[in-house]
A and B are shown apart, each in its own frame.
Chain A
Amino acid sequence: MIELEHVSRRFGEQLAVDDVSLSVARGTITVIVGTSGSGKSTTLRMINRLIEPSSGTIRIDGKDTAAVPGEELRRGIGYVIQGNGLFPHWTVARNIATVPTLLGWEAGRTEKRVDELLSLFSMRSEDFAKKFPHQLSGGEQQRVGVARALAAEPGLLLMDEPFGALDPIIRAKAQEDLLAVQRRLGITVVLVTHDMEEAIHLGHKIAVMDGGKLLQYAPPAEILANPAHGFVERLVNGVDRPFRLLSLSTVATIVEPGTADGPPLAETATLRDALSELLWLKRDALPVAGPDGSLIGRVSLAALRAHAGGPA
């Protein structure tokens, strides 16, 4: 649980972050989204005190972060930045071992942890441990960057535009990896991005910032359906808003009793995928299959339409 209470940060005359309060629940992903200069990165960096707040309090699990020395605080929080910031003169293994080494773990434990993390990101230890960062692809570098941040088993991971430097295909893969790792480890993630699409895809909750102010803090569906007047509205309004909304829910949520002809949809597919299939096959309804493959009902165009619209 992270709580920001009336946090502000001033750089000279300029107020970069203006009285921001928000709380992040343990084990969730919160995405702070905004344009450059919105104060989103500054807000993130105040959580691990790379930047000290000018005023306000930040608590992690009830403890005021100002009461702990900065280095000690940061060693307990994972941190990933754009362009990964791997140390070019160290091997992959040594990079991942950075924080355990700073914490004085014994060699055996560190080595075991490095192997564990490499396999978590499906990188064979024999192939990768001794390589240098410049011998890796962009996607591999990114994964090592996240592995390094998770090395000392932090409960909280801060990510500053972590996928900004990746091409779209690798980026999608990295996003899926992050979701899988977060679910598996149950860690709390705060991620900063300028990409609303990414925010909707990854966030349990989204904080929209502009000009240093927190404009809206809500789950993605809420942001899409009821955007705050002004900036947030402009950010989410667009031709594909209904599709974004549909991509947030799975077929299981609107499955109705009955049958239909055609190839069955998995109940875990998103509503967006379901709509796509219906349109492509020129049908009004398709059957839905449960996890074991047995048919459990059907999904209809009418139900999708009801789900995709904004407030009447």
Chain B
Amino acid sequence: MTEATETTTPATALTTRLDRVGIVVAVIAVLGMDWQPFATLKPNRLISGQGLSLAASLPTLWAAIGVGVLSIATIVAVLRTGALLRLATGIASLLLLAVLIGIVPATVVPPGNAYARVSPAAGFWLMAFAFAVLTTDAVAKLRLGPLARLAMLAGAVVTVAILLGSGHWDGLSILKEYATNAQKFWREGAKHVELALGSLAAALVIGLPLGVACHRNATLRGITLPILNIIQTVPSMAMYGLMIVPLGLLAAWSPLAASLGIRGIGTAPALIALFLYSLLPVVANTVVGLGEVRRSVVEAAEGMGMTRHQRLFQVELPLALPVILTGIRIVLVQNIGLVTIAALIGGGGFGTFVFQGIGQAATDLVLLGAVPTIALAFTAAVLLDAAIELSERRRL
């Protein structure tokens, strides 16, 4: 102990021992644990239900473990503790929450009642959010490398898969919705991924060459980027709407187009709209990435006798890769979200459940569409962040 800390007042001594992010985490966690219901019990899937506290929704032993462990975790979060301990605490708390919520249905639903529904309530979500913040903050503090982060993602995926596969969550309402929609779930899921990746692929095929051309030609750049900027500002609903008339006309005119499945609504307008949104990040990042390649490096490549082609593929594009990948990350995460809206014009995807659920006022059906969409976007972001960092290592 230095003299300075010995002479500080109790108040300042306390604040120096508290973690700023931890205070926020703790406030949210305590709010979730003590003031909000942990789960909701509904007589059937449409009637609004009754909130249950953590103690009321679990057997006594589990409730005691839950309250005890989560309270300790909150204290660990609030104090200045080592990043590794914080990471372990965050992961353990999330895991415990995942296990606890699966125990609720068997505890609160009378045996033989097939209509009652149990869902996680605000308290559960608040605590899950709080400890997710604690975990990501610890990951950031530890400065984990890309490979370690990928390993953590794989761990999370495996854990969720085990919880789903073991049937531990089967009593929850969202999985009951899944049970009645299982076939459709995977069909729409495949469609969702197809739309997000298909539009990205199309944007790469067109956008990369366009980006290279814009890099080399200032006039083309001056025309292209503002147009793509304007496209980007069109709201997604309006964009889907704008597609309906011209594509409908095209289908009416050309039997070929119609036979290819091009119509005013459905997959075609969704794909085209997503493709248009994807172009700006791809083209702009290609232009910026190529522009950042050091002049001396390009000149050396030329002076060594590389052709334009060799220069582009061996030197300029590899060096621009991290910036281009950043553009791809933006596009992919953005598209995974935007595909949800495509369900409105019959494009399919997880949005189908969201809009069906809204129509029926069935919250759990909305969640069946929303949760996998968020999981997909999160996974894509972590994967591409790791790829960007790996590609940056040799670029200094």
* Residues of A near any B CB (own CB < 8 A): 48, 50, 70-76, 79, 81-89, 98-99, 102, 132, 134, 148, 158
Contact = CB atoms under 8 A, between A and B. Distances in A.
Contacts of A79: 300, 303-304
Of the listed residues A73, A79, A148, the one surrounded by the most CB atoms of chain B closer than 10 A to its CB is A79
B302 A99 contact: no
B305 A88 contact: no
B318 interface: yes
Nearest to B293: A88
Contacts of B315: 87
Interface string B303-325: 11111001000010011000000
Contact of B300 (A71, A72, A73, A81): A81
A73 B301 CA distance: 14
B304 A74 contact: yes
B310 to A, nearest CB: 7
B300 A85 contact: yes
Interface in B258-315: 294, 296-297, 299-307, 310, 315
A158 B310 CA distance: 22
A233 B54 CA distance: 93
A48 B307 CA distance: 14
Interface residues of B, number: 19
19 contacts: A48-B303, A70-B305, A73-B305, A75-B305, A81-B300, A82-B296, A84-B296, A85-B299, A87-B300, A87-B301, A87-B315, A88-B294, A88-B297, A88-B395, A88-B396, A99-B305, A102-B305, A134-B396, A148-B304
B319 A89 contact: yes
B102 to A, nearest CB: 48
B296 A74 contact: no
Contacts of A87: 297, 300-301, 315
A83 B305 contact: no
B168 to A, nearest CB: 47
B21 to A, nearest CB: 34
A190 to B, nearest CB: 13
A280 B302 CA distance: 51
B302 A72 contact: no
Contacts of B318: 89
B227 to A, nearest CB: 30
Nearest to B396: A134
Contacts of A134: 396
Nearest to A82: B296
Nearest to B308: A71
A85 B307 contact: no
Given A74-B304, A87-B301, A89-B318, A132 B394 contact: yes
B304 A89 contact: no
A81 B301 CA distance: 11
Given A71-B305, A81-B296, 16 more contacts: A50-B303, A70-B305, A73-B305, A74-B302, A75-B305, A79-B300, A79-B304, A81-B300, A87-B315, A88-B395, A88-B396, A89-B318, A89-B319, A98-B304, A99-B304, A102-B305
Contacts of A71: 305-307
A98 B304 CA distance: 7
Contacts of B307: 71
Contacts of B301: 85, 87
B323 to A, nearest CB: 13
Given A88-B297, A102-B310, A134-B396, A50 B302 contact: yes
A232 to B, nearest CB: 29
Contacts of A148: 304
Contacts of A82: 296
Nearest to A76: B305
A100 to B, nearest CB: 10
Contact of A88 (B302, B303, B394): B394
B303 A102 contact: no
Nearest to B297: A85
Of the listed residues A86, A87, A132, the one surrounded by the most CB atoms of chain B closer than 10 A to its CB is A87
A104 B302 CA distance: 17
A89 B297 CA distance: 11
B289 to A, nearest CB: 13
A73 B318 CA distance: 26
B394 A89 contact: yes
A76 B297 CA distance: 19
A48 B299 CA distance: 12
A158 B304 CA distance: 11
A82 B295 CA distance: 11
Contact of A86 (B300, B306, B395): B300
Contacts of A158: 303
Contacts of B305: 70-76, 99, 102
A81 B319 contact: no
B48 to A, nearest CB: 59
A97 to B, nearest CB: 11
Nearest to B303: A79
Nearest to B394: A89
B304 to A, nearest CB: 5
Nearest to B302: A50
